Chains A and B, each alone.
Chain A
Amino acid sequence: MSFEPPKTHLYLEEDLPLIQLSHTYAQSSIWLENGMSEQLATYDLFVRDMPAHRNYMLFGGLQEILDWLQKIRFSESDIAYLLKVKLIDENFAKYLRNFKFTGTVRAMQEGTVFFPYEPVVRITAPLIEASIIETYMMSAATGNIMFMSKAARIKLAGQNKFAIGTGPFRAHSFESGAKACRAGYLLGMALGGQPAINIKYNIPVDRYVVNGQHLFITSYPDELSAFRALTDHYPEDCGFMVDTYNFEQGIENAIIVAKEMEARGQRLARVVIDSGDKIPRCRHARKRLDEENLHYVKIFLVGNLDEYSIAELAAADAPCDIIYSITEYVTLSDSPKLEIVYKLAELRKGDDIHYAAKLATGKLSYPGRKQVYRTYTGGKITVDTLGLEGEDLGQPLLEKVMENGKLVNKQPNLEEIQTYVTSQLATIPEHLLDLHKEHKFEIKISGQLQTLLESTRAKHGAK
Chain B
Amino acid sequence: MTVNLTVKSIVQQIRAGSLTPTAVAEAYLQRTKTIAQKLNTHLHLDEAAALTEAKGSAQRIKEIGADRLPLAGVPILIKDNICVRGSKTTCGSKILENYVATYDATVIKRLRDAGAFVLGKLNMDEFAMGSSNENSAFGPVRNPWNLDYVPGGSSGGSAAAVAARLAPVALGSDTGGSIRQPASFCGIVGLKPTYGTVSRFGLVAFGSSLDQIGPLTCNVEDAAMVMDVLTGQDANDSTSVQHPHGGFAKALANDSEGLKGKTVGIPEEFFDSGLDPEVGACLERAIADVQKAGAKIKRVRLPNISYSVAAYYVIATAEASANLARFDGIRYGYRTKENGVSLKELYRKTRSEGFGQEVKQRIMLGTFVLSSGYYDAFYAKANKVRELISRDFAAAFDSGVDLLLTPTSPTPPFKLGEKLSDPLAMYLSDICTIGVNLAGLPGISVPCGRTKSGLPVGMQLIAPKFNEQTLLTGAHAYERATEWHKDQPAI
- Does A pair with B? no
Chain B residues close to A by CB (< 8 Å): none
Chain A residues close to B by CB (< 8 Å): none
